[in-house]
Amino acid sequence: MSQMASKIWWLRLLLVLLFFISFVTYYCSNTILHSYNGTGKSLNSSKSVCGGWVTQKKWKSLNFNITRRTKLFLKLEDFFWQEHLSKLALPYGIKGSEPLLLKVLAVTANDDVPANTDDLECRTCVVIGNGFAIKNSSLGSIINKYDVVIRLNDAPVRGFEEDVGNKTTMRFFYPESASSNPGLHNDPDTLMVLVPFKHQDLRWLKEILYNEKRVRKGFWKPPPQIWLGDVSKLRVLDPHFMHQTADRLLRIPLHPNSKQKPVHPTTGILAVFVALNYCDVVHIAGFGYPNSKSQKHPIHYYGYDTMKSMKNSYHNLSHEAEALKRLEDLGAIQYLHPHS
């Protein structure tokens, strides 16, 4: 082989090696990018945040029963295959509501959270409260990056995207806080999660689902008489979580005497507790009420409700604020904005 032919041979070999190295580099990079994009994450995503949480197992330091349960919703099959011996009525158990539940669960979907979320190695979640604190926060783009975004009641999204984002994975509601047309402020795939506080809440849902005559008694505020949501996206939250939120987190008496006004957790603190059970990272925004002594101060980032409207509620707001402070001090939750 001549010297010229030898040089050409080595040059060709070098070109082949360069091509091979370039191809491998491109393929690996593209695969990594695709795997992150497939879960809606960037390379600088929450995986690093998750690592700290999972490694330290902060949830184990909580002094109440965090079970890491991924089964959030009641299912029809649970009633067929095992007998529920609940000793408590709603909102802490299902005693006395079994016939209504059977009818409701017979026509609603019995799946849990969609697999693309359920199968994540690390779930990052944010619970968006309806408080005034999130107004003018410009957190919308940050909120949209979480794997799971939980919203509450009928809080609007349209027109407030810059502050609260527009992604919704789950929305917790009860009849009095339901929107007659959930499609206005939710993604098509949003799970509409009924939190049944009382027997009438399940009755309302049954009447909606079976298009029966509506019974309006038993509600502190008239619920929608028409519900235009996607039935396949309806879920009923397991009262286990309300029970644990009240008993373990808030230490609310589950059997108050007749002279005591009943106190129940808000949907907000309940959603935080559910997130602590289901998610690996829990952040919150829009929680807390104004320190202002004025009863006319707005309490939500939308609408015109004031502190005066909370005067006769069935919730202990200062007690819940203390519970959130404990969770924050333990590192179990983190606020996305300054708060008092």
Per DSSP, the residues of 2-50 read: -HHHHHHHHHHHHHHHHHHHHHHHHHHHHHHHHHHHTTT--TTSTHHHH
Which two tokens mark 172?
A: 């917790």
Identify the band that residue 315 occupies on the pLDDT scale cut at 50, 70 and 90: low
Per DSSP, the residues of 187-223 read: -TT-EEEE---SHHHHHHHHHHHTTPPP--TT-SSPP
In-domain check, residue 269: yes
Per-residue pLDDT reduced to its tens digit, 257-269: 656 677 899 999 9
pLDDT of 316 > 90? The answer is no
Per-residue pLDDT reduced to its tens digit, 106-153: 998 777 888 788 888 888 999 999 999 999 999 999 999 999 999 999
The answer to whether 229 and 191 are in contact (CB under 8 A) is no
pLDDT of 36 > 90? The answer is no
How many structural domains is the chain composed of? 1
Identify the band that residue 276 occupies on the pLDDT scale cut at 50, 70 and 90: very high
Element (H, E) at 149: strand 148-152
Identify the band that residue 334 occupies on the pLDDT scale cut at 50, 70 and 90: very high
In-domain check, residue 271: yes
The predicted pLDDT at position 339 comes to: 86
**Could you tell me if residue 89 is left (phi over 0), alpha (psi between -120 and 50 degrees) or otherwise beta?**
beta
Nearest to 256 by CA among 96, 88, 85, 97: 88
In-domain check, residue 251: yes
Which two tokens mark 139?
A: 């957190």
Per-residue pLDDT reduced to its tens digit, 186-198: 999 999 999 999 9
Selected residue with higher pLDDT from 339 and 82: 339
In-domain check, residue 175: yes
In-domain check, residue 21: no
Q: Give the range among 62-66, 148-152, 275-279 with minimum mean pLDDT.
A: 62-66
The mean predicted confidence, pLDDT, of the chain is 82
The answer to whether 271 and 261 are in contact (CB under 8 A) is no
The predicted pLDDT at position 165 comes to: 98
Identify the band that residue 26 occupies on the pLDDT scale cut at 50, 70 and 90: very low
The predicted pLDDT at position 120 comes to: 85
In-domain check, residue 293: yes
- Cα distance between residue 282 and residue 331, in whole Å: 10
In-domain check, residue 8: no
User: By residue range, what is the domain housing residue 54?
Assistant: 46-335
CATH number at 56 reads: 3.90.1480.20
The predicted pLDDT at position 219 comes to: 95
Identify the band that residue 25 occupies on the pLDDT scale cut at 50, 70 and 90: very low
Max Cα-Cα span within the chain: 107
Rounded (10°) CA dihedral 267, 270, 272, 273 = -170
Identify the band that residue 29 occupies on the pLDDT scale cut at 50, 70 and 90: very low
Identify the band that residue 228 occupies on the pLDDT scale cut at 50, 70 and 90: very high
Selected residue with higher pLDDT from 253 and 142: 142
Angle between helices 317-330 and 267-278 (to 10 degrees): 20
pLDDT of 38 > 90? The answer is no
Name the percent of the chain lying above pLDDT 70: 72
In-domain check, residue 14: no
